[in-house]
A and B are shown apart, each in its own frame.
Chain A
Amino acid sequence: MNKDTVLYLSAITYNYYQEEFWESLRPGLGEAGNFVLDMGKKFRPNRSISRNGEWSIPFPQKVPPMFKAPAYDPNFNKSFTEITNARAQDIKQCINEHNHKFAVMYSGGIDSTLIMSALIKNLTAQETQNIAVCMNGQSLIENPYFYNTFIKDKFKLLDSSSNKYDDLIEMGYRPITGDEGDSIFGTMMGHDLMQNYPFYLDKVSAESRSYLESVRGKVTTTDVHWTKYEDLIIQHLGLEGSPGFGKSLYEKLSKNIATATVPIHSLHDFYWWFIFNIKYVSCATRITVMLNDRLHCKDIFENWALNWFNTGDYNRWSMVNNNNGEKIELSVGTYKMAARKYIYDLDKNDWYFHFKLKIGSLGPNVVFNQDVSNVPVNRRPNARFGLDWEYNTLYIDDADTQDYIRYHLTNFRRDW
């Protein structure tokens, strides 16, 4: 690895293992370098890279080819249902032509329940014999009705608490993940602001507060442009102990949006764009990088893992379906409405349709219970920094990786 090495993924991760290293760099860094570390503290980790529009990062880095965004097409008019059924047909084809076996990473949440619903609707009973459900007790608790009605005694079950991607692949399964669901529909960050709107309102000026109170119900409509919420967003993006960080991030995101080719109107659009554009690669790669200790990531990305929402059509759908009720009506109770409707068409579960809330599933369902005791400490997930352009995993304790990081962070300059 030398200073010109191109990356496909970089992660500034403030966990117990890496924090000391990152903080040791601070004295030698300028404003931009410190900003990047603050991003790591704020987002734990910072794996940002833009798929559309300007967004400078310290390292020479590219979006992995399979996760690039398609061009914005304002005339794209396929429905969410059409696209979802077509995705299930992709799986059907793999089963019938290649006898592929799949393991759906199932949490009981909306994304993975959508995947299961699509497979149940589109595959024959014979074809579903090639589908296993990788889940644990938390998945059952999150959606007991769906499990009892559609999964129990119908699908082979695999334990997600003890089967990582490498385990599944070594058993011959292609893992299916819905990890880009939030990227397609919006973001937990936006929900956090909506839930805590008055908290941030208290921090803005009195005149701004009065206006922001009046537009609280307009966050998912084109009536009020996201820039009108500037004071609120800056407070929300802020980081305790780093004055000016919220404003700096706001300005960086503003530049990205100004140079992007996709229209961004509402406050929900603003946060959707952050995860759809800047954090998409993070969502798309994290399981392969973190939930795999033995296999080469290139092999997984190119031959095994199937990221359900990572298709041109889902991406195009996401770019032309803002502020029409398909992604969200107002707040978290109506989040991922198009997916709720698709699931409801199968399960007719009023409770799930009306009351399902977003629950972060990667931790409790998958990561927390994994046993990595047979992996050397400096090769465990907490010690991973990123991927180079050949998808080799980079580790934070390696001297050349540290030199590389130090060099690029030191030379990073603000351009926003």
Chain B
Amino acid sequence: METAKILSSKISPMIYVLSNSSSDKMNITNCLEYSTRHKKDETGYGGAGTSQHKQSATLKKIFKDNIIHAGLPLDYAKPERLAMLYRLQEYALFTLRCVYAINLANEYRNMFPEKDYVDSFFKDSLPADFKLMPDNSAAPHGMKYEIKNILYHAMTVEEALDNIHAAWQTYSMKDITGVRQHFYHVLGIIEPEITGVIGKMGQWNKAYHESTAWVM
């Protein structure tokens, strides 16, 4: 659902919960050739029907006998439109990987999720001017927020990746937890060289630490 919400800046997405029997022949290569036979089973506001669906992502159970191999969508038969469909698939898969990576990295490595805890369990308990950080980065709303926003607003994979690199460059200078390294590891791409950051997890950056209040 997190990925679908991000993709909703480009499409109006439905997440279908498929049954086992209908998904065994479907794979990452041929999935665009599968479709729902019709939308009549998807009743209620937020369904995929023309008069019900919304831009924000929704979740729907789909009946197993309503999935068919229909071939590529006829509305996307022209070469330029088909290319756009593949571009959408590429962006969706990239977004899915990024969301997976930042969520895992955050859960593994974010040792300072104080804002999340205060917002969830101590709402209005602290003075409003207290500085509460969502993680150990310098991103005001945390890196999870930054990356998801980049993916929501970017128009291409390249633009998104450039902005993600730039965000880490900007915000992970003092991060000692290794969220950034973990993110790139799970994403499966080589972490770009970022000048001046604290370095790989466990590595000591003397110049940086001499300019902070950290006592290690």
Contacts and interface: CB of A to CB of B under 8 A. Distances in A.
Nearest to B56: A141
B163 interface: no
B74 A331 contact: yes
Contacts of B50: 188, 191-192, 195, 332, 357-358
Contacts of A364: 54
Main DSSP-derived SS at the A contact region: helix
Interface in A326-362: 329-334, 349-352, 354-355, 357-360
Name the interface size band of chain B: 20 to 34
A357 B12 contact: yes
B197 to A, nearest CB: 29
B91 to A, nearest CB: 9
B75 A334 contact: yes
Contact of B74 (A108, A330, A352): A330
A66 to B, nearest CB: 28
A145 interface: yes
Interface stretch (A196-204, A258-266, A394-402, A403-411): A196-204
A197 B35 CA distance: 13
A381 B11 CA distance: 33
A5 interface: no
B152 interface: yes
Interface string A153-176: 000000000000000000000000
A141 B8 contact: yes
Contacts of B84: 350, 354-355
A217 interface: yes
A355 B10 contact: yes
A192 B54 contact: no
A167 B9 CA distance: 31
Contacts of A351: 9-11, 88, 155
Contacts of A357: 11-12, 50, 53
A192 B49 contact: yes
Nearest to A108: B55
A406 B51 CA distance: 32
Given A196-B39, A199-B38, A351-B155, A359 B88 contact: no
Interface of A: 108, 138, 141-142, 144-145, 148, 188, 191-192, 195-199, 217, 329-334, 349-352, 354-355, 357-360, 364
Interface of B: 8-12, 37-40, 48-56, 73-76, 81, 84-85, 87-88, 152-153, 155
5 contacts: A148-B153, A195-B48, A330-B75, A357-B12, A359-B12
